[in-house]
Amino acid sequence: MSRYTGPRMRIMRALGVELPGLSRKKIERRPYPPGQHGQGRRKLSDFAVRLHEKQKLRHYYGLGERQLRNLVIEAARAGDTTQKLLELLERRLDNVVFRAGFARTIPAARQLVSHGQILIDGKRVDISSYRVRPGEVISMLPRRLENTHVKSALEDTTLPLPGWLERSSAPIQAVVRGLPDPGSILFELRTQLVIEYYSMRL
């Protein structure tokens, strides 16, 4: 299954949760699923609840189904599957660029990375799934800092900087100080249900 490129608000309304990394918009005006019967009452089955939690992760981080499945397998081999899965997802370069405040959403951060605008320890990296390590320094090409969208993202203080990242303003860069912890994600997630969803399919 390829990466979803359709309306992001539709996804958040369908899942009933705001995903800051997916879109800057809010669902408070229409907090019900899209479609003709979106406002009707419905009881979700156990499978649907697990599927919803899995879809939150997949759409928030912009992953394909196979990518997420492979990460779950990798996390399961490490021991504590729930904690390791979130750590692997948070360490993706496109997510780190977003969490460091260089872009307003993960799709925008992914575009910065794929266009070769992001540097790690002074070297250009254009792979969104690159996994950052403690001690690495993430920065941008100097000419990119003049971009209006980048400037507005850097000035935005709405989203908190996670404890495992440290950002400086002179020069503008972020340093990975440690490994992400499950409590640093920006939306409510029952990770165990995601593991249960895949445990029936692996």
Homologous superfamily (CATH) of 93-178 is RNA-binding S4 domain (3.10.290.10)
- Residues 141, 88, 24, CA angle at the centre, nearest 5°? 60
Quote the CA–CA distance of 153 and 21 in Å, as a whole number.
13
Whole-prediction pTM: 0.83
- Residues 183, 167, 169, CA angle at the centre, nearest 5°? 155
Give the residue extent of every domain in the chain.
8-88+184-199, 93-178
- The CATH fold assigned to 8-88+184-199 is Ribosomal Protein S4 Delta 41; Chain A, domain 1 (1.10.1050)
Quote the CA–CA distance of 188 and 68 in Å, as a whole number.
18
pLDDT tens, per residue, the chain with 202 residues? 466 666 666 777 777 777 777 766 665 555 555 554 455 556 778 888 899 889 889 888 989 899 999 999 999 998 788 899 999 999 999 999 999 988 888 898 999 999 999 999 999 999 999 999 999 999 998 877 777 677 777 767 778 889 999 998 878 899 999 999 888 888 888 889 999 998 877 6
Residue 138 phi, psi dihedral angles, 5° rounding: -105, 130
Residues with Cβ within 8 Å of residue 170, at least 6 apart in sequence: none
